[in-house]
Chains A and B, each alone.
Chain A
Amino acid sequence: METVHHDVLVIGGGGAGLRAAIAVAEADPRLTVGVASKVYPMRSHTVSAEGGAAAVIRPDDSLDEHAYDTISGGDWLCDQDAVEVFVQEAPEEMLRLEHWGCPWGRNPDGRIATRPFGGMKLERTWYAADKTGFHLLHTLYQTSLRFPSISFHDEWFVVDLLVDKGRCHGAVAIELASGKIVALIARSVVLCTGGGGRIYPFTTNANIKTGDGMAFAYRAGVPLKDMEFIQYHPTGLPFTGILITEATRGEGGWLVNKDGYRYLQDYDLGTPEPKPVKRSMELGPRDRLSQAFVGEEEKGRTVTTQWGEVVHLDIRHLGEKLIDERLPFVRELCRKYQKIDPVRELIPVRPVVHYMMGGVHTDIDGATPVAGLFAAGEVACVSINGANRLGSNSLTELLVFGARAGRRAVREAGDAPDRPPDAALTQALDMERQIHGNLLRPAEKGERVATIREEMQTSLEAHAGIYREEEGLTTARDKLQELRDRMAGVTLDDTSLTFNTELLHYLEVRNLLDVAEAVVHSALNREESRGSHQRRDFPERNDDRFLAHSLVRRSVEGEPEVELLPVTITRWEPAERVYGK
């Protein structure tokens, strides 16, 4: 079996992965960095982020305000020490990106411009029109090409981590073009594989977001934290699930029901004003807005379309000029994918799965409980997002914690042994045997992997959506167990070694099932309602029992076990979340 050695291995080539790789290259150019990504880095899902990235830059803003908005937005489930680090390092990271060429929106005097965003008390969202993620990712990718110590394994799919006696020694990957299975050996490994929104059928997430890194960590015995918190974005296009950015509302868009009524005023989110008011109405947090949609649906005040129930997003009053200047992508997406022009027509929208607040349990440097293993970005849970992430905090998060994880990986690279233990290499050989020997061997026709995926997605949508209850969650739990058993009977049409995407899908669905299991078990255990986790059977927040993170890990017997870890409180005592006042 072939082995490739790096000092630091970064898994995933999105925003966090590239930022981590650059951080390593800058901290110590002598260290070699390998970036293994299942797609070319510029295809990573960071590219789809639209609205912006938050950091304090205005003189009338303060770090404490940003921290408070984040913590209250997260329903007090954020670790406040992590949030403090985050808001403090955010401006520097964003400026660094400016120096690397990111075309941030500007004021006429040439300084950085900001726009309002949901749940934020002041304009602190930096933007590059409404293609912020796209510009951020391409800036990072193009900048990363500068560093000779960074090498890319593009279209290499990592199958699993190599972990022995509490230390990570690298990973096993398939080179898609050749089908070769390679052991990537490294002193430090940084997971930056993003979230797993594809456990649901209706999501803004790209096809590639299959929670791979979360599943690797989970199988290696690393706990996953706060997995029950799934963010629904209130404004997705029906059918496609394409995201219509929160910036539409930041710029002044309205959400109206079938009667043209700005219904958010009925959900304790303030009173309607013609101009956008921060932390009020349409600029409330995403969890509350998505929950309000369900309320309207139950009252029969949504609009019925061929794609199901929707409400309308109205941006007509903003005018063509502002829309073309600040929201060109929204117009492009509506025209192309919904065949409407938002300058003149209402945009049909409904809540759509968008982001996972939870992820691999890390400290504020991205370090996991396994030595030599780090994580950053959506795959990780630091945690700054708590029970509900504020829009425009995630792009900033991947910069701040991508860089921190990269630097920590450098510091700890020296602790690794010069040679990986034989046990790690044995694991790699086992995986090669499993894939080449079992999965790619022609077999009698069994089930399709797509069937398993579809049934999992349907079950999660029905039972682990915006509102949950014990009965449904138990059904989903049992369904996942059944699907896991049925995976053994799945066969592949494709036995080729060359660019075998069916094999890829099989391995991805395996990862999705693990992530879904973690979500459902954590959701069952949290008998309260907080942020994006709403239990019909426990409608109140319960700080006595659950002002704590859920940690789910797989026991030696293979069963998921959930335990609680208290939240770190520094300066902001838990209080009621108040919007619109």
Chain B
Amino acid sequence: MKSQARIPTGRISDPGYPQASNPEYTRHHPRWYRRHMPIFWWLRKFAYTKFILRELTSQPVMYATLFLLGKVWVLSRGPEAYEIFVQWLSHPAFLAFHALVLVGLLFHTVTWLNLTPKALVLRVAGRKVPGWAIVGAHYGAWLGLSGVILWILAGR
């Protein structure tokens, strides 16, 4: 709505935007300086690094999901196939790889669960549920489900 401004407004949509024009200073026309984002910008701050790691560790999450599906598929092909598969998995290289995947999964899970209160605003009996309760409920559900699985495994 800056209809009267005659210098480029600085808006991206404006054809006179900094990068688009006036590399040279001319009287009454500002020459903006725009910093370029370095490739390693995410090393600038620990918070950014953590963010990038959270994004990257979505790969282990994807891997774990596909792995689980693969396991079910192998299981459907009979006990021998499954035996061979398990032997494969006992290989030290695989064990090391899966240890890494586990670290990535835990990192992603923890950072992700910690963010849940931002996206979720709950009201119970007219009062706002505090953030720690939402995070706690998520962790509780996680631990509870893990416990159920362990119980099933132990009872086998």
Contact = CB atoms under 8 A, between A and B. Distances in A.
Do these two chains really belong together in a complex? yes
Interface of A: 2, 4, 6, 34, 145, 148, 150-154, 175, 177-180, 497-499
Given A2-B6, A175-B7, A178-B7, A497 B1 contact: no
Contacts of B3: 151
A175 B7 CA distance: 10
B124 interface: no
Interface stretch (B26-34, B73-81, B95-103): B26-34
A175 B30 CA distance: 11
11 contacts: A2-B6, A4-B4, A6-B4, A148-B1, A151-B1, A151-B2, A153-B2, A175-B5, A178-B29, A180-B7, A180-B28
A177 B30 contact: yes
B28 A497 contact: yes
Contacts of A499: 30
Contacts of B5: 153, 175
Contacts of A148: 1
A154 B7 CA distance: 12
Contacts of A178: 7, 28-30
Given A4-B4, A178-B28, 13 more contacts: A6-B4, A150-B1, A151-B4, A152-B2, A153-B2, A154-B2, A175-B7, A177-B30, A178-B7, A178-B30, A179-B28, A497-B27, A498-B30
A489 to B, nearest CB: 28
Nearest to A499: B30
Contacts of B7: 175, 177-178, 180
Nearest to A144: B1
Chain A binding surface SS class:
strand
Given A497-B27, A497-B28, A34 B1 contact: no
B4 A153 contact: yes
A148 B1 CA distance: 7
Contacts, number: 32
B79 to A, nearest CB: 65
Contacts of A6: 4
Interface string B5-23: 1110000000000000000
B8 to A, nearest CB: 10
Contacts of B4: 4, 6, 34, 151, 153
Contacts of B28: 178-180, 497
User: What's the dominant secondary structure at chain B's contact region?
Assistant: loop
Contacts of B29: 178
Nearest to A175: B7
Which 10 residue pairs of A and B lie closest in terms of their CB atoms, listed nearest first? Answer: A178-B28, A180-B28, A151-B3, A151-B4, A178-B7, A177-B30, A4-B4, A498-B30, A178-B30, A151-B1
Contacts of A4: 4
A113 to B, nearest CB: 19
B26 to A, nearest CB: 10
A21 to B, nearest CB: 12
A41 to B, nearest CB: 12
B1 to A, nearest CB: 6
A152 B30 CA distance: 19
A175 B2 CA distance: 13
A145 B6 contact: no
A148 to B, nearest CB: 7
A154 B9 CA distance: 11
B1 A145 contact: yes
Which among A6, A145, A152 has the greatest number of chain B C-beta atoms within 10 A? A152
A150 B3 CA distance: 9
A179 to B, nearest CB: 6
B80 to A, nearest CB: 68
Contacts of A150: 1
A2 B6 CA distance: 10
A498 B32 CA distance: 10
Nearest to A5: B4
B121 to A, nearest CB: 18
Contacts of A179: 28
Nearest to B1: A151
A108 B79 CA distance: 68
Nearest to A178: B28
A177 B8 CA distance: 11
A34 B30 CA distance: 23
Contacts of A2: 6
B148 to A, nearest CB: 42
B5 to A, nearest CB: 7
Contacts of A151: 1-4
Interface in B82-140: none
Nearest to B31: A498
B24 to A, nearest CB: 14
Nearest to A152: B2
A544 to B, nearest CB: 53
A523 B29 CA distance: 46
A527 B142 CA distance: 80
Interface in B23-60: 27-30
A219 B28 CA distance: 28
Contacts of B1: 145, 148, 150-152
A250 B124 CA distance: 34
A499 B29 CA distance: 11
Contacts of A177: 7, 30
A152 B2 CA distance: 6
A262 to B, nearest CB: 39
